[in-house]
A = this chain, B = another copy of it.
């Protein structure tokens, strides 16, 4: 996404591979930090990655329940764990969760959210980050976290409407 293209919208995007890679990266990150990538955590992350769209906690729960019992705390705990490692992000304006492309990098949450198809792309723009930081500093404010949620139409949906 550094190049500003939402490449996983395109037809040639191999999504199964995309998910598998995300899971592999996640496992690596967990291990390297001495955390356990348990089957529940893996399953929840996999469900979240199955689309590039934010998914609600109770939607994850429903999917989990198709293969056995599960209750809300199970899902929320997994989500909390995954968020702590930046493997998923919460989209505040949607009460929903989305997989993170670059969990290895320290980064803020910057999201493009399509109001039509709901696809959600994560940005990681240093320029946005630093302008916000600078403006906050002008107000004497010490930033610990930035959340940028940008609603609108993705390129594909925008074309279809015109």
Residues of A at the B interface (CB closer than 8 Å) are 1, 4-6, 92-93, 112, 114-115, 121, 123, 125, 127-128, 131-132, 135-136, 138-155, 158
How many identical chains are in the complex?
Answer: 2
Given contacts A112-B136, A128-B128, A142-B158, 12 further A-B contacts (CB under 8 A): A5-B139, A92-B149, A93-B147, A132-B150, A136-B150, A139-B155, A141-B153, A141-B155, A142-B153, A143-B151, A143-B152, A146-B150
Q: Write out the residue numbers on chain B whose beta carbons fall within 8 Å of the beta carbon of A138.
A: 4
* Measured CA separation A143–B128 after assembly (Å): 15
Which residue in B6, B92, B141, B150 is a CB contact (below 8 Å) of A143? B150
Closest B residue to A94 by beta carbon equals: B92
Looking at chain A's contact residues, is the secondary structure mostly helix, strand, loop, or mixed?
mixed
Residues of B within 8 A of A158 (CB): 140-142
Looking at A142, A152, A158, which has the most chain B CB atoms within 10 Å of its CB?
A: A142
Q: Which residue of B lies closest to A123 (CB)?
A: B135
